[in-house]
Amino acid sequence: MKKAQSRSVVVIVHVKKIKPRNNMRTHYCGNVDEKITNEQVALCGWVHKVRNLGGLVFIDLRDRAGIVQVVVDPEQAEAFTVAEKLHNEYVIKITGQVIARPDNMINPDMATGKIEVLASDVELLSRAKPLPLQVSDYQEVSEEHRLKYRYIDLRRPEMNKNIQLRHYVAQELRSYLNENGFLEIETPMLTRSTPEGARDYLVPSRNYKGSFYALPQSPQQFKQLLMMSGFDRYYQIVRCFRDEDLRADRQPEFTQLDIETSFLDEKTIQDLMEEMMRSLFRKTLQVELPKPFPRISYQEAMQRYGSDRPDLRIPLELIDVADEVVNSEFRLFAEKAKDDKARVAAMRVPNGVKLSRKEIDNYTVFVAKYGAKGLAWIKVLDLDQGMAGIKSPIAKFFNSNQMEVLLAKVKAENEDIIFFVADDFKIVSESLGALRCKIGEDLGLIGEKWAPLWVVDFPMFYQLSDGSWTFHHHPFTSPTELDPQKLLADPGASLSKGYDMVMNGSELGGGSVRIHDPELQFAVFQVLGIDAEEAKREFGHLLEALNYGCPPHAGIAFGLDRIVMIMAGATSIRDVIAFPKTTSASCPLTSAPATVATAQLQELGIKLVEE
């Protein structure tokens, strides 16, 4: 089992050295360095580790800035008596002199390893019982345990750094937006449920028994209303709530950087947001992101990468081969190649011949999760030998000419393995798209890179199996077709003015140009099967507002947790949230959710039903 903590990526955060404001100390432990050699310092912190050599005690003292080694010599009798009795995680204050370590005692693995602090006084501020998890240990701890004792878990330097990084990220984002004329405006947490979208978290009303507030899934409608109020550049770092099943990159409450602008076209807002990300990466990670970000259409993303959030770090692509297999004896391929709704695609993996039969079988199981009924493959051993130079269970269905054409199409080289899936368009794209990421990871093709891009030109609507239409982004997104009659006549033909910012395979944010014409908004609702009456009931406030002078407006929302996760090199957003929930939306620390007193329920007019 994969343990939750990711410790692999070392994030170099550009952190200003801050003077502690507490009167008990003069410096942070992690900031003590050779520049202040021979100075007297007072430090406060937690005992990270004690090494008692009998006649000499070493203390690794830790605070949020880092760790420094303190030496206590028996000549300082009082200090030594206290030091001898120290244990891990005791909170102490020490005063002493910063001294250079002799050359042979420098610790190159430690940021403060060139110096140490010779203690003249050690003061015990708080004892600690043996801990349920070890802060200084190299052992991984189960995530449930970490969450139960999160306040201790957060002491671990890796976690502490993540939370600090999160602060700097939020600070830089705010600072960029402030400099660009954005106003930070708050919106309600107690609002109303809307029929579309995710399941709501509900809050019962005491004053209106039987009625409920909903916690916001996003401030979408409020930020649009703020545009109508004339605030023209708005942002907010805001908590959002969706009661859906969780994932490594999904929490029931998550933080969005929510942005909306008036009088900007989509290109301008995208440029502004790109620059915000470049500025953020430059200032916090000292990484320069490309300018401009590459921009690809949804269609192209699905064709080439099998995903609407492609990881461009992976040098593998999907290649359509319907024309090359349509005349083969492989009936499945030939059938799908003739079917308009189907797709036959290949993915060439350089050096893939080394994959064992078992590994290929595992990939077959892997793609089955996405609906693929099989995974065909060809190993290219030696192109010069023709059919004799390949190894494949499906080779027998191809004559040598067909095989040659097929291999030419995928630009096969010796040592390649080529995978194939033939099925409905969605299944082929998604399964090979997922396999692309899986193999990229397994074969170590990814590396430490940053690959941002925009995905644009999403379809406005897509059709469900029952024939009804649903939206791709949200129902306030403007279609490219601005004529309501034409939109209604052929909903599937229109693209949306939506855009997603994607980095390293994660969707960091998504937004759109919004509808500001009430007629068009009604038409979109109509396509979605929301009649005028329901639209007025559920969205009346917004529809009415469109009639009182509404500027053209466009916006975007970023997942702050995901941005920080990707920057921290973490594999779960839980590692960048101070107090996250488990995958069943519970909190082992507080035991939330919990039952409440019957009296509380009565006050709210709520009666529980037996299952």
CA atoms within 13 A on the CB side of 345: 26
CA atoms within 13 A on the CB side of 267: 1
Map the footprint of RNA across residues 33-62, applying CB under 7 A. Answer: 49, 51-56, 58, 60
Select from 75, 16, 19, 83 the least CA-distant residue to 51: 83
Q: Are strands 66-72 and 115-126 parallel, antiparallel or unpaired?
A: parallel
Residue 162 backbone phi and psi in degrees, to 5:
-60, -45
Amino acid at 404: E
Query: Among residues 268 and 583, whose Cβ is nearest to RNA?
Result: 583
Residues in a beta bridge with 119: 96
8 A C-beta contact, residue 535 and residue 525: yes
Query: Among residues 31 and 251, whose Cβ is nearest to RNA?
Result: 251
Residues in a beta bridge with 204: 212
Query: Among residues 283 and 426, whose Cβ is nearest to RNA?
Result: 426
C-beta of 541: minimal distance to RNA in Å?
Answer: 15
Map the footprint of RNA across residues 74-93, applying CB under 7 A. Answer: 74-75, 87-88
Taking CB under 7 A as the binding criterion, the range among 193-201, 329-337, 344-352, 412-420 that sits at the site for RNA is 193-201
Taking CB under 7 A as the binding criterion, the range among 125-133, 174-182, 230-238, 410-418 that sits at the site for RNA is 125-133
Would you tell me the crossing angle of helices 560-568 and 266-285 to the nearest 10 degrees? 40
C-beta of 570: minimal distance to RNA in Å?
Answer: 10
Query: Among residues 51 and 373, whose Cβ is nearest to RNA?
Result: 51
Q: Does 167 bind RNA (CB under 7 A)?
A: no
Q: Does 244 bind RNA (CB under 7 A)?
A: yes
Q: Does 414 bind RNA (CB under 7 A)?
A: no
Q: Is 517 helix (H, G, I), strand (E, B) or coil?
A: coil
> Residues touching RNA: how many (CB under 7 A)?
75
In the sheet with 417-424, reading across from the earlier edge strand, the strands are: 318-320, 342-349, 417-424, 376-380, 390-391
Residues in a beta bridge with 45: 92
8 A C-beta contact, residue 48 and residue 62: yes
Q: Please state whether the peptide bond connecting residue 315 to the residue before it is cis, i.e. omega within 30 degrees of 0.
A: no
C-beta of 218: minimal distance to RNA in Å?
Answer: 4
C-beta of 514: minimal distance to RNA in Å?
Answer: 11
Cα–Cα–Cα angle for 176, 550, 258, rounded to 5 degrees? 30
Q: Which H helix or E strand runs over 255?
A: strand 253-262
Query: Among residues 13 and 128, whose Cβ is nearest to RNA?
Result: 128
Query: Among residues 31 and 136, whose Cβ is nearest to RNA?
Result: 136
Q: Does 145 bind RNA (CB under 7 A)?
A: yes
Give the residue, chosen from 78, 137, 534, 603, that forms a contact with RNA under the rule CB under 7 A.
137
Q: Does 124 bind RNA (CB under 7 A)?
A: no
Map the footprint of RNA across residues 214-243, applying CB under 7 A. Answer: 217-218, 220, 242
Q: Does 133 bind RNA (CB under 7 A)?
A: yes
Give the residue, chosen from 113, 157, 292, 551, that forms a contact with RNA under the rule CB under 7 A.
113
Map the footprint of RNA across residues 543-582, applying CB under 7 A. Answer: 572, 574, 582
Map the footprint of RNA across residues 463-502, applying CB under 7 A. Answer: 470-475
How far apart are alpha carbons 538 and 519 in whole angstroms? 16
Give the residue, chosen from 40, 81, 107, 171, that forms a contact with RNA under the rule CB under 7 A.
107
Query: Among residues 81 and 399, whose Cβ is nearest to RNA?
Result: 81
C-beta of 206: minimal distance to RNA in Å?
Answer: 27
8 A C-beta contact, residue 468 and residue 462: no
Give the residue, chosen from 98, 141, 367, 406, that forms a contact with RNA under the rule CB under 7 A.
141
